[in-house]
Amino acid sequence: MLLTMVPLVWGWKFVDSLSELYIVALLLGVAGASFAAALPLASRWYPPQYQGLAMGIAGAGNSGTVFTTLFANRIAQHYGSWEVVFGLALIPIAIVFITFSLLAKDSPTQPSPRKLADYGAVLKQRDTWMFCILYSVTFGGFVGMSNYLTIFFNTEYGLSPVRAADFTTICVIAGSFFRPVGGWLADKIGGIRMLMVLYGVVGIMLAAVSALPPLSVITVLLFVGMMALGMGNGSVFQLVPQRFQKEIGIITGIVGAAGGLGGYFLPKILGNLKLSTGSYTPGFLILSGIALSCIVLIFIVQKSWKKTWIGSGGKALDQSSLQNPAVS
């Protein structure tokens, strides 16, 4: 929390140029490591059959993006300064910091601190990279679209910045608040089944978006697509704690970082393709293809997963049956 407050104070009082704003953005990215701390903190309090719901609720903290898209542009426009946005953002951060300090505690099953070599051991496993790919598409897609849709609505449909942010907020709400639903459904029917369906929905929605239909239609398509991405985030983290029970803190940081990288590359892909082709269509078609390719990846690896650490469709095995699989 303190890491989050430092760049906000800096952005509020000391930023006067774009290069300084980049530094603030970098520091906020470092502060985002709180996500990697929050998920294992929550995960260790719950048994395997509730991991999807627990991790989905914990991960739904990205709903803060809704407040950003809804209020940031309005605040900046009202006060005529972006610095004020950083200053006002300190208020909820301070409240959360105090609340967390008073109420949060580690689970009795909290493991001993890990060594740097433990990260290397996890990175050697194929499933680590598999989850990184899956999460870079779901979480990276959600974050990237959250950042990019305001520009998209502004340039493609001629909406004012504030109005474009409102339409973006509608889509972001879907991704944020349906993440726990995705985790809960993954607990019930299995994370593998859920992800295959959700990647299919994302692929279909983005393919339809690439046709650039009227504003009302594309808003519905993006709402459903973002909802599927958010639910996919919850579904991925229904599977992760099953596979890496003892390394949940390490793997959360690694997979979370992959999701962040996906969120960085998605706007780059869309932006560069828009510049080179003059249209948003190729970018959305490529993103659709990436989502659909994830279905193929899951189909390939699911057989080995079911033989070693997960039940049918990706449902959690009984505690007595769970084993940490050998390095693959």
DSSP characters over 102-168: HH----TTPPPPPPHHHHHHHHTSHHHHHHHHHHHHHHHHHHHHHHHHHHHHHHHH---HHHHHHHH
**Those residues with Cβ within 8 angstroms of residue 99's Cβ, 6 or more apart along the chain or in another chain:** none
Residue 106 lies in a domain: no
Say whether pTM exceeds 0.85. no
| Spatial separation of the C-alpha atoms in residues 292 and 301, rounded to whole Å | 15
- How would residue 215 be classed by pLDDT, with cut points 50, 70 and 90? very high
- Kindly indicate the confidence band of residue 293, based on its pLDDT and cuts at 50, 70 and 90: very high
pLDDT tens column, 125-166: 999 999 999 999 999 999 899 989 999 999 999 999 889 999
Residue 212 is given by DSSP the state -
Q: For residue 93, tell me if it sits in a domain.
A: no
Query: What's the pLDDT score for residue 283?
Result: 95
Show the domain range for 161: 48-80+119-316
Per-residue pLDDT at 323 exceeds 70: no
Confidence of residue 327 (pLDDT cuts 50, 70, 90): very low
pLDDT reported for residue 246 = 82
Let me know if residue 210 belongs to a domain.
yes
Position 170 in a domain: yes
Mean pLDDT of the chain: 87
Say yes or no to pLDDT of 302 above 70.
Answer: yes
The answer to the question of residue 255 being in a domain is yes
Q: How far is CA 203 from the centre of its chain?
A: 17
Residue 178 located in a structural domain: yes
The predicted pLDDT at position 190 comes to 94
In angstroms, the CA 299 to CA 302 distance is 6
Name the domain count of the chain. 1
Question: Across residues 84-91, what is the average pLDDT?
Answer: 88
- In-domain check, residue 16: no
pLDDT at position 319 is 52
CATH code of the domain covering residue 205 = 1.20.1250.20
Does some domain include residue 23? no
The confidence score (pLDDT) of residue 2 equals 62
Whether the predicted pLDDT of 84 surpasses 50: yes
